[in-house]
Each structure stands twice: as C-alpha cells, then as structure tokens.
Structure 1
Amino acid sequence: MDPATIIGLLLAFGSVYAMVTLEGAHVEALLLPAPMILVFGATLAVGIAGHTLRDTLHAFKSLPRAFTAKPAQPAASIGQLVGFAEKARREGLLAMEDEAVKASNPFVARALQNIADGTDADELRTLMEDEIDTKIRSDRIASKFFASLGGYAPTIGIIGTVVSLTHVLENLSTPDHLGPMIATAFVATLWGLVSANFLWLPFSSRLKRLSDLEVEQMNLLMEGLLAVQNGTQPLLVAERLQAMVPADRKVRAGGKGTGSRPGEDLLPDLGRAA
C-alpha cells in the first residue's frame, strides 16, 4: 500500500488543528452538525444529480483504491516478459498457453492465450488497445465524480453561510448574540472549502494518478507481449521496455537501481524468469 493519501490527509487536517490551537480557539467550535450536514449532504446530493446512479456507485467503489492501491512495479513486469520471450524462443509460442494459465494478471493471461492461439499481431494489438481504452474511460468516471464534488462544495458552503446570516439579521435586536452567530455562520464556508480541498479534489487527483500508472503498466505489458509474439530477442525486449519506464521508476523489485544500460540489470534473470 502506498501511504501517500493517508499521510497527506493527516498533515492537512493536522495543520488546521495546529492553527486552531495556536489561535486559542476550540476545535469544537468548528464541529457544528448543521453546517456539516448541509455541506456534505448537499454536495453529495448535487454530485449524484449531475451523474448517473451507476456512476456514483462506481465512484464510491473505487474510493478505497485511493488508500489501498499499490502502484505496479515495472521492473517485475519486465522480468516476467523477458521470461516469456526466453520461453517462446526456446519452446515456441504454443508454450504461452501454459503461462496464460499461471498468469495472475487477466490482461496478460488473455494476451498470452491469444498468442498461443495464433492471433494476428495487428488484431492482438487492437484487442489490447481497446481494453486499455475501456479502462481509461471507466477510471475517468470516478475521478470526474470527485472532481465535481470539489467544485460544488465551496459554493454550497457559501449557501450555508448566507442562510445563517439571514438568521443573524433576524436577531439584530439581540446584539450580545451577534458575534457567536456570525462566527457560526462562516463555519459552513469553512467546511465547504475544507471538504473540497482536503477530500474531494485530492481523491480525484489520486484516482487519476493511479489510473495513469496502471495504464502505463498495461502499455508496457502490451508492447512486451507483442515483442514476445514477434520472437524478439529477450535482451532487446528488456532494453526496449526499460526505455519506456521513467527514470525515477527504474528500480528493481528488490529495490536495486538499474544498471548503466537499459535492461542490463535484468540480464542475470533471463534464464531464471523462464
């Protein structure tokens, strides 16, 4: 699990708590049920209204991934693909059928089975590209849903403040109570801004980033599998796939950095990966 989301949220809310404490205020003054119900309830309501019910369910089913998803390790996939290339050159493409049965990744398993079945390379590329495109469109739903909540929340917070200030104006005859009432009125705006910038927008960005990483991984797998089908030399497979990986992610599964040449650190694994 990548703890970035949890760490970020703890630091964000911790910063607010520190400011409130240093100002000599009380956190309880911000935890008012009425404005919180309005901001969170109405934000979710208009978010649902702006999407289909299926979109909403999909978005909330995707939300746990923001906390639990672990970005894929390109080096591990490259080692696996190099192993496939070795086996394909040694035993033929029909041997990929056994690898398809053992593969834990459905995307890889389907591609290996198609390779073993003799599917044309262009057709196989089209199939994999269509699957990648479908994933992009599916992941975009969740990201856009939470981004829309981040857009609605501040405005709804202002609506809550306006409603509260209307109530304040009805009680101008009791000036002793105006200060606390005005302070309470602005809590709705605060929660609108906090929920948008501390929750909804970060969730949207996190889900989009995870989707981008997964799509990059699928593209890496696609090019590697097509190279296996084409009978490309394992060393060239490793070099080409390493060239597709950004420098900051060129780290082996064990934590060791890459060698001076792309694919160099995978050479000792060629026989073992098969």
Structure 2
Amino acid sequence: MDFLSIVGLVVAIGSIVLGQLLEGGHLASILQPTAFLIVIGGTLGAAMLQYPLPVFLRSIRMLPWVVRPPLLDPDGAIRDIVQYSEMARRNGLLALESAIDDIDDPFLRRGLQLLVDGADPAKIRATMEHEIQAVEHHDSQAARVLESAGGYAPTVGILGAVLGLIHVMENLADPSKLGAGIAVAFVATIYGVGSANLFFLPVANKMKNIVHERAKLQELIVDGLVAIAEGENPRMIEGRLQGYFAH
C-alpha cells in the first residue's frame, strides 16, 4: 500500500477546502454538480475520443496502482538470480528446470525456460528485451490517457465557465438566478484546474514512473540470465546487478 499517495491527495484537497473555510466561505459553494458534470464528463469524453478502447480500459485498470503499486523486489530478484547462477555452475543449466515451476513472476519464468532450453545469450536478450519494450509501450500509452485528461480538464473548465456566464446573461432580468450561473462559471474553472493538477497529471506521472521502474527491474533480470548463460561468476553477477538499484 502506497500511503504517501493517499496522504498527498488528502493534503491537497484538504488544504483547498480548509483555505475556503478560513476565508469565511462555505463548502456548499464549491460543490456544484453541474460544474462537475461539465468538467469531468467533457474531459473523459475527450480522452475516450483520443484513445482506442483497449488503451482506455487499460488505463482504468491501472488506476489502483496509485495506492497499490505492483510489487517490485530488486533485492529478491538479485538473490534468486545469484542462486540460479550457483545451481547452473554446480550442476549445469538443466538443473534450473526444477526451479521453473516455483517461480511466480511470469517474465522470469519465461526467461529461465529459454535458459534451460539452451538458447544462446543473444537470443535470450533479444527475445526478452522485445517483451519489455512491448509491455512498457502498452502501459505507457495507458498512463498517457490520464496525462491527456490533465491537458483537457482546464480547457473544459473554461468551457464550463463560459456556459455559466451565458446562463447569467440569459437571466439578467431575474436576479434570483444570477448567483447560480456565476457560481457554476467560477466553480467549473476550479474543477478543471484542480482535477488536472491534483489528480490527472500526478496520477499519470506516478503510473509512468512505476512502468519505468518495472522495466528497469526486468532489464536487471535479463542481464542476470544472460550472464548465467555466458557462465559468469555468481559474485560478479551479483555485483553488477546491484548497480541497477544502487539507491
């Protein structure tokens, strides 16, 4: 669980709400269902128009990553690879076949299967790096859906403000309706800028960072498996792989 994401969202929204209350405003004045519908509905509609359905759905499925990111354990991966290297050094590559069924990570399992099947190091690297690039591209596209939404939201907020002002102009003769129209106009702008900078853009950047870190971990795995195929010393393999996540 990534508690920092939850805390960050609470702090961001809470600061705005608290500031509104400290200035003597009312919470109800910034809760406008009409403005919310215009901004969020218009933004999501624009994002749907830009991307194909599989990419959009993938973006929705990746949203939980913000609070429950995929488990990335580089230290565990290094320990496993060093262990496989020692097994291969003592008993040959075929000895690794018994370990394949116990591996939970499908990427590592496929790589180890290539190693056991006797694929040459260049073939292992080419095959697995192609998979890394394909998955990274697919997931990065999904993250860009929210990034695009962050670009659309402020503009749609301005559109909502204009619609609110049109409503005001249409009811100049009835002062009782002016307040609601002006409220929608200003609150729509708040929703557009706020949703972009407090949700869409931060979430998109967090997703892209997770995708990058996972790709780097998979590159570590590839490097380790290729080193095993080339018969390198386990201690040398461990030292080199630790450099991937030196921080």
Q: What is the TM-score when the length of structure 2 is the normalising length?
A: 0.95
CA contact (8 A) 2:34 2:184 kept: no
The code of the aligned residue for 2:91 comes to E
1:103-128 per-residue CA deviation (whole Å, 9 max, x = no partner) reads 11111111111111101111111001
Aligned residues: 247
CA-atom RMSD in angstroms: 1.5
SS in 1 for 2:232: coil
Deviation at 1:177, TM superposition (A): 5.6
TM-superposed deviation, 1:175: 4.8
- Counting aligned pairs with the same residue, the percent is 37
Equivalent residue number for residue 5 of structure 1: 5
> Per-residue CA shift, 1:191-222, capped at 9, x if unaligned?
01111111111111111010011011001111
Query: Are 2:160 and 2:184, in contact at CA under 8 Å, matched by a contact in 1?
Result: no
Contact map agreement 1:39 1:160 (CA 8 A) in 2: yes
Instruction: Flag structure 2 segments of 5+ consecutive residues without an equivalent.
Output: none
Query: For structure 1, which segment, 173-182 or 217-226, has the greater mean C-alpha deviation from structure 2 after superposition?
Result: 173-182
Distance 2:82 2:19 in 1: 53
The amino acid of 2:69's aligned partner reads: A
Per mean C-alpha deviation after superposition, the further-off stretch among 232-241 and 66-75 is 66-75
**Contact 2:220-2:244 at 8 Å conserved across structures:** yes
2:241: which partner in 1?
241
Is the contact between residue 153 and residue 195 of structure 1 (CA under 8 Å) also seen in structure 2? yes
Shift of 1:155: 0.5
Distance 1:125 1:144 in 2: 28
Q: Report the 3-state secondary structure (helix = DSSP H, G, I; strand = E; otherwise coil) of the residue aligned with 2:118.
A: coil
Match of 2:192 in 1: 192
Matched, 1:224 2:227: no
Matched, 1:116 2:120: no
Distance 1:176 1:61, change over 3 A: closer
Within a 5 Å distance, the mapping from 1:1-274 to structure 2 comes to 1-175=1-175, 178=178, 181-247=181-247
CA distance in 1, matches of 2:243, 2:203: 31
SS in 2 for 1:203: helix
Q: Structure 1 stretches of 5 or more lacking a match?
A: 248-274
| 1:2 and 1:71 in contact (8 A); partners too | no
Q: Is the 8 A contact 1:82 1:235 kept in 2?
A: yes
Q: Deviations over 1:214-261 (max 9, x none)?
A: 0110011111111111121111111111122232xxxxxxxxxxxxxx
Aligned partners of 1:71 and 1:210 also within 8 Å: no
What SS does the aligned partner of 1:17 have? helix
TM-fit CA distance, 1:162: 0.3
Write 1 or 2 for the structure with the bigger share of helix.
Answer: 2
Cα deviation per residue 1:42-81 (whole Å; 9 max; x = unaligned)? 1111110111112111111111122211451221111111
- Checking the alignment, whether the CA contact within 8 Å between 1:5 and 1:206 is kept in structure 2 is no
Shift of 1:183: 3.3
- SS of residue paired to 2:83: helix
Q: Distance in 2 between matches of 1:239 and 1:53?
A: 44
Separation in structure 2 between the aligned mates of residue 154 and residue 229 of structure 1, nearest angstrom: 53
Q: Residue 102 of structure 1 aligns to a residue in which SS?
A: coil
